[in-house]
């Protein structure tokens, strides 16, 4: 896949598009989608939209909470540091770092953080309690009018339970000092329902310096009403602290002087805190549906890292601290009109989204977590406003369109250490979108989509003028197109196939591991995805998801190559779940993450990563279930992540450019007992 197919290149030249919007409830008929087992024919406006329900989530053996997002076909979650740091994401030819270009929402509250101290779009999934997630709604590409910033590659909307049918108790213990307890329940309160849940967990990992990761999660949700009319208020809290072994130089591991589970510093790590409060109200009748949500959150992070060891300071070492303190608040409001347009069934939504983050972040030189110098410090405010509209129109029983778009504006107010890098900046972007849907014909639908999206750059770069720098645009457009098919023509098999293309404009990228702001060239990405879910009966299910993609700079970079370093190429995910009538059930999941170019010329590549996880469950009685999970069943010694850069491994060593990697965690066992009463 070194050259884009001709029709994809033609899509790249299109300048006026409109959209494929995420499904509000459809006009005819109302459909409730609970998971991958449910048909999306006539409901979804894209081949690459989908839903994963609580049942499928519970059946997946996972190492980290963030791996719930691997239910999005083609998405990979990795980690290159201590357990409390946000995961690293890969999807559709992107190394998404810690969330850039993939938008994540918790009950509608955005998780991605603009202009974050450790990277644009930082999204920390550690703030959730996995058992309280009711479903994951996902979409891919810039074709959805309700999704704005960070949604270029895709988005995931996590819906959490408002009530529980039974009290829930999970007690879990495992290898490497792992332990976790979850308790949640619902109760009637002042005319509504109160859901409350807590999670307390600890893990050390296989590292010679234990992670010593302690975390606490809490969630309170009061709700009233039903789908036609109701409201809810949710309070979500998290606190965690950890040590971090980080990635290590391959030369020392190859020489036998450093264990793959060793470290280059014993004081790296961090701590983070999250608190959010949100309230929503909704009402729906035959003519109109209204939704209103307001939210506010606080997030703090202190992160201590050393990736170059002694390259910059042979005496004290290169440890640095990235600190981020922020308060954010926002509003989501929409109204949908149900009716007809020239006798055609029509559904039109108009929405407004507002958000502002007030941020204090900085980059500091440290020794053993003690600050010794200030490299950068910013007080900034980033505000975004988006107005979107979309129309679903049913032209014939087998043809419908979704036409939409959004206008977004951003205002940044930055105070840096130097006046030259301080100031205000404004940016705006218009994103038209269009989807065409044919079918169903013989239980098969066909989709053609095209649209513009955008990605926000780090606000600190929009006012950067020192040392000859040129301030960059705050909101940078992207455009894409996609052709897909969704079929249930084979009994019990749901299958989707899509071919896609995406072109990104120049972006300002915060290299969070070094604290430098780096503009990049425009890029092109294209690929193919095939997702399958097969349920021949109630006791057996299979799923198979394949994705292949290519990411290229529009022109050669300084190394003379066009490959976008660290971009994902190949993903394979395979799973099988068996439920025996005697109370036994089990699942196997295989994940393959292919090699990646670590330099634009392709001269250095990472290794591939293959992980097989397994789970066996036994329903003891109506209330209690026991589960045994074996993670990394084949004890793979592959790389979880790999980078190529220059470092100096000792005070007297010579600097060298080499591969630095973080290994996958070795085979481990976890035993849990779950009670519902």
pLDDT at residue 6 above 60?
no
**Could you give the percent of the chain with pLDDT greater than 90?**
82
pLDDT at residue 32 above 80?
no
| β-bridge pairing 154-160 and 102-106 | parallel
Structure tokens at 235: 């309070």
Structure tokens at 326: 């922020």
Q: DSSP per residue over 202-261, as a string?
A: EE--S-SS---EEEEEEEEEEEEE-SSEEEEEEEEEEEEEEE----EEHHHHHHTSS-TT
Return the pLDDT at 325: 97
Return the pLDDT at 18: 30
**Arithmetic mean of pLDDT, 385-390:** 98
pLDDT at residue 571 above 90?
yes
Distance CA 32, CA 637 (A): 43
| Mean pLDDT of the chain, nearest integer | 91
**Arithmetic mean of pLDDT, 400-417:** 97
**Arithmetic mean of pLDDT, 240-244:** 97
pLDDT in tens, 50-105: 999 998 999 999 999 999 999 999 999 998 888 899 999 999 999 888 888 999 99
Please list, residue by residue across 540-575, b when 16 or more beta carbons sit within 10 angstroms of its beta carbon and e when fewer do: ebebbbbbbbbbbbeeebeeebbbbbbbbbbbbbbb
Return the pLDDT at 514: 53
Q: How confident is the model at residue 226 (pLDDT cuts 50, 70, 90)?
A: very high
Structure tokens at 558: 């300084």
pLDDT in tens, 100-153: 899 999 999 999 999 999 988 999 999 999 999 999 999 999 999 999 999 999
More confident of the two residues 213 and 81:
213
Q: Is the peptide bond before 29 cis (omega within 30 degrees of 0)?
A: yes
Question: Nearest to residue 300, comparing CAs of 330, 271, 267?
Answer: 271
* The model scores a pTM over 0.85: yes
pLDDT in tens, 595-617: 999 999 999 999 999 999 999 99
Cα dihedral 112, 308, 557, 466, rounded to 10, equals 70
Structure tokens at 466: 């020192």
479 near 451, Cβ under 8 Å? yes
Return the pLDDT at 470: 81
- In 262-419, which ranges are continuous DSSP H helix? none
Return the pLDDT at 516: 54
pLDDT at residue 347 above 90?
yes
Q: How confident is the model at residue 19 (pLDDT cuts 50, 70, 90)?
A: very low
Task: Give the bridge partners for 289, in sequence order.
Answer: 284, 336
Return the pLDDT at 671: 98
Return the pLDDT at 27: 38
Helix (H) or strand (E) holding 182: strand 178-189
pLDDT in tens, 496-555: 999 999 999 875 544 545 545 466 778 999 999 999 999 999 899 999 999 999 999 988
Q: Classify domain 6-676 by CATH architecture.
A: Beta Barrel (2.40)
pLDDT at residue 594 above 70?
yes
Helix (H) or strand (E) holding 656: strand 656-663
- In 559-640, which ranges are continuous DSSP H helix? none
**Arithmetic mean of pLDDT, 187-208:** 96
Question: Nearest to residue 279, comparing CAs of 221, 366, 327, 195?
Answer: 221
| β-bridge pairing 423-438 and 444-456 | antiparallel
Helices (H) and strands (E) in the chain, counts: 4, 35
How many angstroms separate the Cα of 667 from the Cα of each of 62, 76, 256, 318, 350? 13, 19, 22, 33, 50
Distance CA 669, CA 655 (A): 40
Count Cβ atoms within 10 A of the Cβ of residue 605 and give its class: 0-12 exposed, 13-18 middle, 19 or more buried.
Answer: middle
- Residues ≥6 apart with Cβ < 8 Å to 210: 176, 177, 204, 243
**Arithmetic mean of pLDDT, 653-673:** 96
Distance CA 6, CA 19 (A): 22
Distance CA 232, CA 335 (A): 18
Distance CA 374, CA 366 (A): 9
Q: Could you give the angle at the alpha carbon of 135 between the alpha carbons of 130 and 141, nearest 5°?
A: 110
**Arithmetic mean of pLDDT, 343-369:** 96
pLDDT at residue 3 above 50?
no
Distance CA 401, CA 203 (A): 50
Question: Nearest to residue 500, comparing CAs of 567, 551, 438, 445?
Answer: 551
Return the pLDDT at 327: 98
Question: Nearest to residue 264, comparing CAs of 195, 197, 312, 310?
Answer: 310
């Amino acid at each position: 896949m070194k050259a884009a197919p001709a029709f994809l290149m033609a899509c790249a030249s299109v300048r006026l598009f409109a959209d494929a919007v995420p499904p509000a409830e459809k006009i005819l008929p109302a459909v409730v989608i609970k998971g991958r087992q449910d048909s999306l024919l006539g409901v979804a406006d894209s081949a690459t939209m989908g839903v994963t329900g609580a049942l499928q989530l519970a059946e997946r053996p996972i190492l980290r909470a963030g791996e719930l997002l691997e239910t999005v076909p083609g998405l990979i979650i990795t980690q290159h540091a201590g357990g409390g740091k946000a995961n690293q994401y890969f999807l559709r030819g992107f190394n998404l770092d810690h969330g850039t270009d993939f938008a994540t929402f918790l009950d509608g509250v955005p998780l991605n953080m603009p202009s974050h101290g450790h990277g644009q779009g930082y999204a920390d999934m550690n703030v959730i309690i996995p058992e309280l997630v009711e479903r994951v709604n996902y979409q891919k590409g810039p074709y959805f009018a309700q999704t704005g910033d960070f949604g270029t590659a895709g988005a995931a909307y996590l819906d959490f339970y408002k009530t529980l049918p039974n009290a829930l108790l999970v007690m879990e213990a495992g290898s490497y000092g792992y332990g976790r307890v979850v308790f949640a329940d619902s109760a009637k309160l002042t005319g509504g329902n109160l859901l409350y849940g807590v999670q307390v967990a600890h893990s050390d990992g296989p590292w010679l310096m234990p992670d010593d990761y302690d975390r606490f999660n809490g969630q309170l949700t009061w709700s009233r009403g039903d789908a036609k009319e109701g409201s809810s208020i949710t309070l979500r809290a998290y606190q965690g602290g950890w040590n971090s072994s980080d990635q290590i130089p391959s030369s020392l591991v190859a020489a036998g002087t450093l264990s793959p589970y060793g470290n280059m510093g014993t004081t790296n790590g961090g701590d983070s805190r999250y608190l959010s409060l949100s309230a929503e109200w909704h009402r729906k009748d035959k003519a109109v549906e209204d939704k209103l949500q307001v939210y506010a959150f606080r997030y703090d992070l202190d992160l201590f890292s050393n990736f170059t060891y002694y390259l910059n300071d042979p005496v004290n070492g290169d440890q640095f601290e990235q600190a981020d303190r922020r308060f954010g608040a926002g509003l989501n409001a929409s109204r949908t009109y149900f009716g007809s347009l020239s006798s055609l069934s029509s559904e039109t939504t108009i929405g407004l989204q507002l958000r502002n983050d007030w941020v204090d972040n900085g980059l500091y030189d440290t020794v053993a977590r003690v600050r010794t110098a200030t490299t950068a410090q910013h007080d900034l405010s980033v505000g975004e406003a988006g107005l979107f509209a979309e129309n679903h129109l049913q032209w014939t029983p087998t043809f419908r369109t979704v036409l939409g778009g959004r206008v977004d504006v951003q205002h940044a107010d930055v105070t840096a250490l130097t006046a030259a890098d301080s100031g205000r900046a404004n940016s705006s972007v218009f994103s038209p979108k269009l989807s065409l849907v044919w079918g169903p014909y013989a239980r098969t639908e066909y989709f053609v989509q095209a649209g513009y999206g955008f990605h926000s750059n780090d606000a600190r770069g929009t006012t950067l003028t020192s040392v000859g720098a040129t301030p960059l645009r705050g909101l940078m457009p992207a455009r894409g197109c996609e052709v897909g098919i969704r079929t249930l023509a084979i009994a019990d098999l749901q299958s989707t196939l899509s071919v896609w293309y995406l072109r990104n404009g120049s972006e300002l990228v915060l290299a969070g591991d070094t604290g430098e702001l780096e503009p990049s060239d425009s890029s092109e990405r294209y690929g193919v995805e095939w997702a399958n879910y097969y349920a021949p009966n109630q006791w057996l299910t299979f799923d198979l998801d394949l994705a292949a993609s290519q990411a290229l700079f529009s022109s050669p970079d300084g190394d003379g190559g066009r490959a976008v370093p660290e971009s994902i190429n190949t993903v394979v995910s395979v799973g099988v779940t068996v439920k025996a009538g005697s109370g036994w059930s089990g699942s196997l999941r295989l994940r393959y993450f292919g090699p990646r170019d670590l330099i634009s010329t392709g001269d250095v590549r990472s290794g591939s990563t293959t992980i097989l996880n397994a789970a066996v469950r036994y329903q003891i009685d109506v209330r209690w279930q026991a589960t045994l999970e074996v993670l990394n069943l084949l004890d793979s010694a592959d790389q979880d992540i790999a980078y190529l850069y220059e470092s100096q491994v000792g005070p007297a060593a010579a600097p060298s450019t080499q591969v630095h990697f973080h290994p996958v965690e070795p085979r481990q066992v976890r035993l849990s007992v779950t009670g519902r009463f």
